[in-house]
Chains A and B, each alone.
Chain A
Amino acid sequence: MNAALTDTDHHDDHHHGPAPGLLRWVTTTNHKDIGTLYLWFSLIMFFIGGFMALIIRAELFQPGLQVVDPHFFNQMTTMHALIMIFGVVMPAFVGLANWMVPIMIGAPDMALPRMNNWSFWILPFGFSMMLSTLFMDGGGPAGGWTLYPPLSLQGGNGFPFLIFSIHILGISSIMGAINIVATIMNLRAPGMTFMKMPLFVWTWFITAYLLIAVMPVLAGAVTMLLTDKFFGTAFFSAAGGGDPVMFQHIFWFFGHPEVYILILPSFGIVSEIIPTFSRKKLFGYASMVYATSSIALLSFIVWAHHMFTVGMPLSGELFFMFATMLIAVPTGVKVFNWVATMWGGAMTFETPMLFALGFVIMFTIGGFSGVMLALAPVDFQYHDTYFVVAHFHYVLVPGAIFGIVAAVYYWIPKWTGNMYDEKLGKAHFWISTIFVNLLFFPMHFVGLAGMPRRIPDYAVQFADFNAISTIGAFGFGFSQLIFVVVLVKCVKGGKKATDQVWEGAEGLEWTLSSPPPYHSFSDQPVVK
C-alpha cells in the first residue's frame, strides 16, 4: 500500500457512500454507479431491440405478408440494428469498462467523473429521440442501419430527429472513450505498466481509440445527409457532381472499425475468463496485445469489402479483398492463444466459462463466413443475402453478446457480493446456445439458396428454414428471461461471494472485497 495514508482523507470524509435515493443515480460521479446504469440501460434496450427482431421473425415465419406492412418491416430492421449496436452492445461495453477498468488498474475512479455521468445520461435522451421517430409522420428510419442515400433521404418527419440522435449518441461515445483512454493512461497504479495490464483493459484501450477515430466520421457522414436533404448540398447526388457511393465509403470507413468496436472488448473478456477457469496463465499475452492492435489498424483499410458490388475499379476490389483476408491472421492468433490457454489446464465449467467457450466456437464460425465474404468474386453471390445476415449475427450474438453475458456472470459476484444461481446460469447457457444456432445457422442456407436480406416476404422455397429461424428466435428471446431472473435474484441476495470468487482468478479486482467499497482504490495499490 501507498504512503498516501498520511494524507488525511479530507475529501472522502464527507462522502463515504452514495447520495440517498434517486438523486444518487442522476448526479453520480462514481464509476460503479455509472457502470451499473449503463448495464441496466443496455439490458432494457436489448429487450426493445430484441422485440423488434421478434417482429421481423414473426413476419418471416411464413411466406406471404401476415403481420406488418413492408414499410413498417423496414423500420423494424433499421431500428433493430441501430438499437442493438448503439444501444446494447456499445453501452454494455462502456458499462463494463466503467465498472472494471478502474478496479483492474488500481485507479481511484474514472479520470473525468463528471463527464462520465454526462456520457451516460445522454443515452436515454438520445434513444428516446430515436425511438420517437417511429410515431412521427412517415415513420421511423426505413433505409437500413447503413442509411444509404438516396433512399434514406426519403424519410419523413423522423429524418432530422434520427440524424441528431446519432449525433448526440456519437458525442456520448466519444466522451466515454476519451474518459477510458485518460483513465488508462493516467490512473494506473504504480507498477501497473502497459504490458502488465489485464487484456480486458488493453482491448478497451484500443477500442477507445477506434471510437475516437471513427465516431466523428459517422457524424460527418450523417451531417452531409442532413444538408443534402434540407440545405440543397450535392454530396450524394451525381446531378451536382457528387456520388451516392461516396456516402458508402465514408459510412464504412466508420462502419468497419465499428464492427471491431463491437467485438474487441469481448475478446478481452474471454481472455480474462479462460485463464481463470483453466487455472493457467493466458498463453501469449504479448502476442494478444499485438494481435489486437493489428486488427485495429487493419480495420481502417478494409472498409470497401462491404461495397464489392458498387462498381469499384478492379484495383480497389483486389486491394480490399486482400486486406480483408489479412485480418484473419491476427484474429487467428487470438483464437489459437485461447485454445493454447486451455491446453494442459485444469478446467472447470461454471457459467462464465461456458459462455466464453461458446463465444470462441461460434465467433470463429462467424469469422469463417467473414473470410468467405471477403472473397470478392464470391461475395457477388453472397452480398445482401441472408448469408451475410448469418455471418454478422454469429459474430454479434453468440459473439459480442455472449461475451457481455459471460462478463456479467464472471463479475456479478464481485459487483453484488452474492453468487448467482449456477443452475439457472447453466440452463441459460445451454438453452441460449441451442436456440441461437437454430436461429442463425439456417440463415446460411437460405442465403446461399438466394434469399435477399431486408425483405418482408420471400419465395416459397425458403419457407422451411425461415420457420426454423423464427422458432429459434422466439426460443432465444424468451430464454433471455432466465438471465433477467438470475440477475434479479443475484442483486437481491444469495450465497455470499468470497473476495477472490473464482479459484483461479488473478488480478486487482479480486483483491477487493465483494462487493467492493464505494470508492475502491482511494489509495492506490502497488503492483509488483
Chain B
Amino acid sequence: MRVLIKALASIALLSAFLVSPAALAEWGYNLPRGVTDISHKVFEMHMLAFWIMCVVALAVFGAMTYSIIKHRKSKGVTPATFHESTAVEIVWTVIPFIILIVLAIPAAYTLIEQEDDSNSELTIKITGYQWKWEYEYPDSGVSFFSTLAEESRQARVIGSDIDVNTVENYLLDVDKPLVIPVDTKVRFLLTANDVIHSWWIPDFAIKKDAIPGFINTMWTKVNETGTYRGQCTELCGRDHGFMPVVVEVVEKSEFNQWLASQIESKESGQQLATTN
C-alpha cells in the first residue's frame, strides 16, 4: 500500500517541482544542494537545465496535444496540404541553438572552476582496491583502509535474516572514514590498484575515476562540518556495491588533533612491530 501511495506521489512529482525545488531537495528525490560552493553551482546548473527542459517540453508537447485534440479526423477536418516552410525551419533551428548557448556558458565556467586544483592546502591520496579504499595523508605519512562497516557486511549476505531497514546507514557506513578539515581546499590524488573505481560524494559534487597506473586529481572545499556519504561509482567487480565512501568533515583544530593521534598510533604501531 505504501508503495502504491508512493507511485501516485511519483506521478505527481513534476507538479511538486513547481511548488518548490528546495522542498524537493529535502525529500531526497533530487540532487542534493550540497555543502560546497561548487556543489551549489552544480545544483543551480542542474535546476536551470531542468527548468529549460520543462519549458521546451511544455512547448513541444503542448503543440502536439493541441494538434491531437483539434486536428483529428473524427472532428471532420480536412487535412491541410502545407509541408514545408523555410522560415519556421530556421526559427526552430536557431531557437534551440540559443537555448543551448544559455546552458553552455555557465556550464563552461563551472567546469573550469572544478578543474582548477591549484593552491590546495592539504593533499590526500586515495587508492581504490577490490573492494575498499585506502586513504593516505602523504605529508604526515598517515594511511589506512576504509571498508564497509561490519553491521552492513553481515546484513547484506543472502539469507542473513537481518532486516536491512534496522541497520543504520545500511551500505553507506565504513569502519574508518576519511577525515578532512572544514573550510580548507583539499586536493585528492586518485588512483587504483587493480581495476577502475570511482570516488563520489554527492554533497561535494565531486566524482572521479580511480585508474590503475594513473593519478587523477580533484579538489573540494567544504563549508559545513558533518558526515558525508557516497559510494564507488564505477563497476569494479563482485562487491562494487559494497565499497562506500564516508568523509568526516571536522573543525580544523579537531582535524589537527585527529591527525596527531593518527601519527602517534602509527608510530607506536611501528614500535610494536619492531620490538616484536
Contact flag (A, B; Cβ within 8 A) = yes
Interface size on A, residues (CB 8 A): 98
The answer to whether B195 has its CB under 8 Å from any CB of chain A is yes
A322 to B111, CA, bound (A): 12
A457 to B108, CA, bound (A): 35
The answer to whether A485 has its CB under 8 Å from any CB of chain B is no
Contact with A along B204-215 (1 / 0, CB 8 A): 011111011110
Is A378's CB under 8 angstroms from B7's CB? no
A348 to B2, CA, bound (A): 39
Chain A contacts for B214, CB-based, 8 A: 238, 243, 245, 311
Instruction: Please list the residues of chain A having a beta carbon within 8 angstroms of any beta carbon in chain B.
Output: 63-66, 69-71, 74, 142-144, 148, 150-151, 154, 237-239, 243-245, 278-287, 309-311, 314, 317-318, 321-322, 325-326, 328-329, 332-333, 335-336, 339-349, 357, 360-361, 364-365, 368-369, 371-372, 375-378, 380-381, 383-385, 438, 441-442, 445, 448-450, 452, 454-461, 463-465, 467-468, 471
Is B83's CB under 8 angstroms from A325's CB? no
Given the interface pairs A279-B79, A281-B83, A442-B10, the reply to whether A377 lies near B45 with Cβ below 8 Å is yes
Is B211's CB under 8 angstroms from A377's CB? no
Is A325's CB under 8 angstroms from B103's CB? yes
Is A459's CB under 8 angstroms from B170's CB? yes
**Closest Cβ of chain A: how far from B75's Cβ, in Å?**
8
Is B61's CB under 8 angstroms from A63's CB? no
Chain A contacts for B73, CB-based, 8 A: 279, 346-348
Chain A contacts for B195, CB-based, 8 A: 150-151, 154
Is B239's CB under 8 angstroms from A378's CB? no
**Closest Cβ of chain A: how far from B23's Cβ, in Å?**
14
A-B residue pairs, 8 tightest by C-beta: A238-B213, A455-B241, A344-B80, A311-B216, A281-B83, A377-B110, A384-B233, A368-B53
Is B156's CB under 8 angstroms from A457's CB? yes
**Closest Cβ of chain B: how far from A349's Cβ, in Å?**
8
Chain B contacts for A369, CB-based, 8 A: 53
A225 to B201, CA, bound (A): 31
Is B68's CB under 8 angstroms from A283's CB? no
Is B230's CB under 8 angstroms from A464's CB? no
Chain B contacts for A328, CB-based, 8 A: 96, 100
Is A285's CB under 8 angstroms from B242's CB? no
**Closest Cβ of chain B: how far from A170's Cβ, in Å?**
23
Given the interface pairs A278-B79, A468-B6, A468-B7, the reply to whether A314 lies near B53 with Cβ below 8 Å is no
Which range contains the number of B residues in contact with the other chain? 35 or more
B240's partner among A381, A442, A455, A459 (CB-CB below 8 A) is: A455
Is B84's CB under 8 angstroms from A285's CB? yes
Is A460's CB under 8 angstroms from B211's CB? no
Interface residues of B in 224-240 (CB under 8 A from A): 230-240
Is A321's CB under 8 angstroms from B108's CB? yes
Is B64's CB under 8 angstroms from A243's CB? no
Chain B contacts for A459, CB-based, 8 A: 169-172
A346 to B13, CA, bound (A): 34
**Closest Cβ of chain B: how far from A246's Cβ, in Å?**
11
10 other contacts beyond A71-B237, A347-B68, A375-B103, with CB at 8 A cut-off?
A64-B162, A65-B157, A287-B89, A321-B104, A326-B100, A344-B77, A377-B42, A455-B241, A458-B171, A461-B28
A66 to B103, CA, bound (A): 43
Is B83's CB under 8 angstroms from A282's CB? yes
Chain A contacts for B170, CB-based, 8 A: 63, 459-460
B114's partner among A368, A377, A471 (CB-CB below 8 A) is: A377
Is B238's CB under 8 angstroms from A71's CB? yes
Chain A contacts for B242, CB-based, 8 A: 70, 457
Is B60's CB under 8 angstroms from A311's CB? no
Max count, chain B CB within 10 A of own CB: residue among A65, A70, A278, A452: A452
6 residue pairs from A and B, CB less than 8 Å apart: A71-B238, A309-B209, A311-B190, A325-B103, A325-B104, A375-B107
Max count, chain B CB within 10 A of own CB: residue among A154, A237, A340, A378: A378
Chain B contacts for A278, CB-based, 8 A: 71, 79
A341 to B64, CA, bound (A): 10
Chain A contacts for B171, CB-based, 8 A: 63, 457-459
A384 to B103, CA, bound (A): 22
**Closest Cβ of chain B: how far from A364's Cβ, in Å?**
6
Is A151's CB under 8 angstroms from B89's CB? no
Work out how many contacts link A and B, with CB atoms closer than 8 A: 289
Is A384's CB under 8 angstroms from B3's CB? no
Max count, chain B CB within 10 A of own CB: residue among A287, A322, A360, A455: A455
Is A378's CB under 8 angstroms from B46's CB? yes
**Closest Cβ of chain A: how far from B48's Cβ, in Å?**
9
A372 to B99, CA, bound (A): 13
A244 to B192, CA, bound (A): 11
Chain B contacts for A343, CB-based, 8 A: 63, 67, 71, 80
Cβ-closest chain B residue relative to A336: B92
Chain B contacts for A148, CB-based, 8 A: 196, 234-235
**Closest Cβ of chain A: how far from B171's Cβ, in Å?**
5
The answer to whether B37 has its CB under 8 Å from any CB of chain A is no
Chain B contacts for A461, CB-based, 8 A: 28
**Closest Cβ of chain B: how far from A303's Cβ, in Å?**
16
A283's partner among B84, B115, B241 (CB-CB below 8 A) is: B84
Chain B contacts for A342, CB-based, 8 A: 64, 67-68, 71
Chain B contacts for A329, CB-based, 8 A: 93, 96-97, 100
Chain B contacts for A340, CB-based, 8 A: 88
Interface residues of B in 87-145 (CB under 8 A from A): 88-89, 92-93, 96-97, 100, 103-104, 107-108, 110-112, 114-115
Is B6's CB under 8 angstroms from A339's CB? no
Is B209's CB under 8 angstroms from A371's CB? no
Is B3's CB under 8 angstroms from A471's CB? yes
A467 to B2, CA, bound (A): 10
Chain A contacts for B30, CB-based, 8 A: 445, 448-449
**Closest Cβ of chain B: how far from A432's Cβ, in Å?**
17
**Closest Cβ of chain B: how far from A312's Cβ, in Å?**
10
Contact with A along B135-175 (1 / 0, CB 8 A): 00000000000000000000111101011110101111000
**Closest Cβ of chain A: how far from B99's Cβ, in Å?**
8
Cβ-closest chain B residue relative to A64: B164
Is A445's CB under 8 angstroms from B57's CB? no
Chain B contacts for A349, CB-based, 8 A: 72
**Closest Cβ of chain B: how far from A79's Cβ, in Å?**
14
Is B156's CB under 8 angstroms from A64's CB? yes
The answer to whether B49 has its CB under 8 Å from any CB of chain A is yes
Is B64's CB under 8 angstroms from A377's CB? no
A310 to B216, CA, bound (A): 8
A333 to B233, CA, bound (A): 35
